[in-house]
Each structure stands twice: as structure tokens, then as C-alpha cells.
Copies of this chain bind each other. A is one copy, B any other.
């Protein structure tokens, strides 16, 4: 039976833009597991199965509810040990956490300043007020203000990708010859951006763009086929 995934959507129910849900979708594909997604909006807290923390991803696997992308990855690894590993051995799993922490402390905070207004534009009508209010409180200014100097911030953002760039110019994936969960965590951030924004974050000749292309091709191109802008 397919696993059910509650997946963030906006006005268009097939445009899916949560970086955390993309981690989970890539992890499910890596494990070769079937999934059925249910589009979910920011304000539909009461539509999620229990337990949850009011956020997606949440999965239901054979009656079991698991929430939080990190917990889901660990659950899948433990529940499906004979499917391809998401982490490799104990060192691989621990080092994946460093990549995840870099993604959450450097990459995603960098990205949000480019795309937060585009997220609002794509959010479902009933979500827009909630989204604007919560994010403007966080930034201390309007969403329009956050993104208005994004062209000027692009060089510094690209510089911040240096550790990723050097890695994927020297090996095909963060996890080596084949992709694994570390790749999906970083890719989730880029797929988030390209799903809701036509702002091109990467130069065409950036090794990071080439790696992103390899990720878009993975698993029969599930990410490439999903509604998104260029890049």
C-alpha cells in the first residue's frame, strides 16, 4: 500500500514547494516506495493526522503517523533496512547531520530572502494573510522590502555556496557516486526556490547548477517533472 504524504501546496494544488517535503519525497523515491500525496495548506492545521506539530511533511505508513522530515528519514531507514540506505553507516549518518545543519543555518536562511515574496504570491488565498503576518514579524519588514535588493545580494549568496560547489565539482553527489539523504536535504532547498520563483539563483556554468540538474534527473525526473520555473 502506498505511503500517504501531506505535502505543502498553494493556489495551484500541484505546485509543491516545501523544502522539507521535497526531502521526504526524494527519500521515498530513494527507498523505492510508492507515495500518494495530499495537498495541504499552511492554515489547515486541523486536517493533519495525529500526532503532528502543525507542519508538513507528515506521512502515514500502514496506519503509522510520522511527522518531521528528519524523523521520517530515520523511520524509513529503520522500517525499510533492505531498501537502499539513505545514510550509509553510522559515520555517514552523523555527517549527513552536518550537511543538514549547514542547509538549515546557511543555505535556507540565505534563500528565503530571495523567494519569500514569491512564496506569498503562490500561497493559497486563505494562507496569504497568515504567511505575510508571520514572516513579516520574523523579518521586521514587509515581504516586498525583503526581496527588493535581492539582485545585490546574489554574489554573496553564491559565495556562501562555496563548500557545496567544491564538493560537487569533485564528486557527482554529496554522498559520493550515488545520491543519498544529504543530497536530498540540500536539493530540497533548491527545489523549494525553483518551484515558486523564476529568480535564477545560480550561474549557468556553476557546478552547483550541474549537480542540481543531476538531482532533477534522479528517480525518473520526479523533481524535474513537478510544476516549477526554469533552472
Interface residues of A (CB under 8 A from B): 85, 87-99, 101-102, 104-106, 162-164, 166-167, 170-171, 173-177, 180, 182
Contact = CB atoms under 8 A, between A and B. Distances in A.
Tell me if A's interface is mostly helix, strand, loop or mixed.
helix
A91 B88 contact: yes
Contacts of A93: 176
A102 to B, nearest CB: 4
A95 B163 contact: no
A167 B98 contact: yes
B94 A163 contact: no
Given A105-B163, A163-B105, A166-B105, A171 B88 contact: no
A160 to B, nearest CB: 9
A155 to B, nearest CB: 15
A91 B180 contact: yes
A112 to B, nearest CB: 15
A101 B182 contact: no
Contacts of A102: 98, 102, 163
8 contacts: A89-B91, A94-B174, A94-B176, A95-B98, A95-B182, A98-B102, A98-B167, A101-B167
